[in-house]
Structure 1
Amino acid sequence: MADTTRRMLQLLTLLQSGGRYPGRDLAARLGVSERSLRRDIERLRSYGYPVAAQPGAAGYYQLDRGTQLPPLVLADDEAVAILGALAVLSATRMPGGLGESAAGVYSRIEMFLPKRLRPQVTAWRAAIEASPEHAAVVAPEALATLAEACHERRVVRFRYAVASGAGGRSGERSGDRSGEPSGERLVERTVEPHRLVHRHLNWYLLAWDQACEDWRTFRLDRIVDLTALTRTFTARELPEESASAYLAQGFTRDRTRVVVTVAAPRDDVAVALAYQHAELTPIDAATTQVEFRLDDWRWLILTLAFLDADFTIEEPPEFVAAAARFAARLAHHARPLDVSVVP
């Protein structure tokens, strides 16, 4: 690589870090005169990089935000990190969603990957699997529109898919199935968007509903006909310390409390229930109390059945009875294994 090209890439890497650099400091780091630095800056500008310059004793160079996306210079670890993240996202293979866009970006970046990095990235992508049946489809355009509206404090209007007769403080219940909103009642909402939250493979919007005059959460895959209005709003104080905390609270609101005692240390139970929303309280070194908030007990019966530890369902009585009926049903349909026919 020619010295000039190497120096240009080094200069671009420095400017892309986002800081302001005095010309004297940049020239010293590159090992050139300030006159040569000015020529290099002009070359970058001719390539489409919007380099701003502030003259004077306190002057500096800074890479501005432009109207076009110029080429980026990435370090090895940055390139691998980006491709790894894109590989995870594209592995969902959900048509029309972020996974589809990620796959296209992955292919374009991979074309320019140095040979020394290809084995690592190729092995990474080949080893990754995802569960597309659980990932809700969200259009990148919808995410971009809502993110921009949150930042610019612009009111948005959309239609939201809800089950017939659904209500409550949240825009939807976490127990709802993911997927397209067809076949459900569409309700028009005008809201003040504040935060986007990614939780359990779904995207949620926390917003102030102008009609209800209260906070609501909306799942993005259930939003259609999204429009950002020109009308703006004044940001409100969030109802909890964070949007994630409010969403987590919504998952337990108006649901049945179920208490289970598990004969295992708290840390072991936490690992076994890593993807469940539950409150764990150690009773002693070998016993843990687990509290769930549910609107459907069936999945919990299955989860408990696969725990590698003894457990006791403490309350409510209805769940104790439901678990007993389920156990009796399994016992009734089970057949003893005839070991004589096993090879």
Structure 2
Amino acid sequence: MATQHDTLIRYITMLQLIPRAPQFKATTTLRDLLADRGFHVNLRSIQRDLDKMSLHFPLKCDDKERPYRWSFDAGYKSNLPALDTATALTLVLAEEYLKSLLPQIAIDRLSPQFDEARKFLDGLQTNGYASWARQVRAIPNGKALLPAAILPHIWQGVSDALLNRQAIAVQYLSRQQGEVKPFILHPQGLVVRHSVSYLLATVNEYDDIRQFALHRIQDLKESLSTYRSHPDFSVEAYIAEGAFGYPLDQQHVQLVANIDKAIAWLLTETPISQQQQLSEPDANGWVTLTATVPNDQQTQWWIMGFGARIQVLQPSTWREAIIEQAQKMVEQYQSAPSAQRPAPS
């Protein structure tokens, strides 16, 4: 027979399993999830427990169809466990940083925790944390574009399909062809890169992994197609192979370049790769960088962002590509009409 302690733990576990509206979990789903955690109870007991707990918690029951579906009120904020200053500051910094990366719909899902952290810090009037808003910021490295807007039901549908291993039918705006096309996608992974979120999936009957920007998915619904899994697929390995760096091929190259002292200092603290060496400065202050890096355009763009402060020596194909690009820029600026200053008023 279950003890009072077991019943209490089951109640807590059940509350942790129920999502905020508009999401929900059916009593049958709660039964299965509880069984996975060692609590074997029938549907009648679960329904009775939920009815009891709804007297003390803002639980909502959709009883229009069976099995009944349960959720917390969308505005419900839990205070368990209580926040501490370090955790609250971490949440505030996380929000600042993630706002420049994640779509707004993803940030909205975390807003109750972020709101609670801000209120907690605002309430600390007896110490230095009371002025936290003027004292903490998190900023991205480099110029950050605003996150691409994603429709709420698209984010939810992709998340559910990925975690539940379901095929989805989408209407997708092709950037190359400039038209909306229907696809059956079999989700394999999700990657947030800068301000764009990508679904990694196989398409229709093909087996190769492709990237789909979530903000270009204009409509989504569950597909009747059988989900085709790739159990050996690893997002980490996929990224390591250079899939998001605009690879020129699947090889790595040895980068040799002269860099100024400021960049050398930067790379001492945050290396460009695991295989990196920096020489002592020469008579003119230049440091020789030697590193093994992917053969991709992303690394070349990173190099070009430093302008004349980096001089690539090897590989020769990179050096020639950068020289060609620099020459085109010079010609473009020389041929363009000079900007005219506005006449004084």
Shorter chain as denominator, the TM-score bin is 0.5 to 0.7
Distance in 1, Cα, partners of 2:198 & 2:188: 11
Give the counterpart of 1:72 among 78, 91, 94. Answer: 78
Q: Which residue of 2 aligns with 1:255?
A: 248
CA contact (8 A) 2:144 2:195 kept: no
Q: Which residue of 2 aligns with 1:32?
A: none
Q: Which residue of 1 aligns with 2:153?
A: 141
Query: What do residues 272-330 of structure 1 show as CA deviations (whole Å, max 9, x unaligned)?
Result: 59999x756446645333545345898456324164x5542532164154156258659
5 Å-filtered alignment, 1:1-343, equals 15=12, 46-48=55-57, 67-69=71-73, 70-73=76-79, 74-76=82-84, 77-90=86-99, 97-98=105-106, 106=114, 110=118, 115-116=123-124, 119=130, 121-123=132-134, 127-128=137-138, 133-164=145-176, 184-229=178-223, 233=227, 235-239=229-233, 242-248=234-240, 249-252=242-245, 255=248, 260-263=255-258, 271=266, 281-282=275-276, 285-286=279-280, 287-290=288-291, 291=293, 293-294=295-296, 299=301, 302-305=304-307, 307=309, 311-316=312-317, 318-319=320-321, 321-322=323-324, 325=327
CA contact (8 A) 1:159 1:226 kept: yes
CA contact (8 A) 1:190 1:209 kept: yes
CA contact (8 A) 1:279 1:292 kept: no
Distance in 2, Cα, partners of 1:288 & 1:189: 46
CA contact (8 A) 1:159 1:187 kept: yes
Decide whether aligned partners of structure 1 residues 299 and 148 sit closer, same or farther in structure 2, where only a CA change above 3 A counts. same
Secondary structure, counterpart of 1:149 in structure 2: helix
Q: Which residue identity lines up with residue 204 of structure 2 in the other structure?
A: Q
Q: Which residue identity lines up with residue 244 of structure 2 in the other structure?
A: F
CA contact (8 A) 2:187 2:200 kept: yes
Give how far 1:231 is off. Answer: 5.2
CA contact (8 A) 2:247 2:294 kept: no
TM-score (norm 2): 0.55
Give how far 1:209 is off. Answer: 1.8
Q: Which residue identity lines up with residue 233 of structure 1 in the other structure?
A: Y
Give how far 1:134 is off. Answer: 4.7
Distance in 2, Cα, partners of 1:133 & 1:157: 29
CA contact (8 A) 1:90 1:100 kept: no
Aligned residues: 261
Distance in 1, Cα, partners of 2:164 & 2:187: 10
CA contact (8 A) 2:94 2:138 kept: no
Give how far 1:88 is off. Answer: 3.4
CA contact (8 A) 2:91 2:117 kept: no
Distance in 2, Cα, partners of 1:144 & 1:331: 46
Distance in 1, Cα, partners of 2:200 & 2:102: 27
CA contact (8 A) 2:100 2:145 kept: no
Unaligned runs of 5+ in 2: 1-7, 18-50, 60-68, 281-287, 336-345
Give how far 1:106 is off. Answer: 4.6
Secondary structure, counterpart of 1:138 in structure 2: coil
Percent identical pairs in the alignment equals 16
Q: Which residue of 1 aligns with 2:38?
A: none
Distance in 2, Cα, partners of 1:275 & 1:138: 32
Distance in 1, Cα, partners of 2:268 & 2:197: 22
Decide whether aligned partners of structure 1 residues 158 and 93 sit closer, same or farther in structure 2, where only a CA change above 3 A counts. closer
Unaligned runs of 5+ in 1: 1-10, 20-41, 51-64, 166-183, 334-343
User: RMSD over aligned Cα, in angstroms?
Assistant: 4.9
Give how far 1:219 is off. Answer: 1.8
Decide whether aligned partners of structure 1 residues 98 and 162 sit closer, same or farther in structure 2, where only a CA change above 3 A counts. same
Q: Which residue of 2 aligns with 1:61?
A: none
Give how far 1:222 is off. Answer: 2.0
Q: Which residue identity lines up with residue 324 of structure 2 in the other structure?
A: A
TM-score (norm 1): 0.56
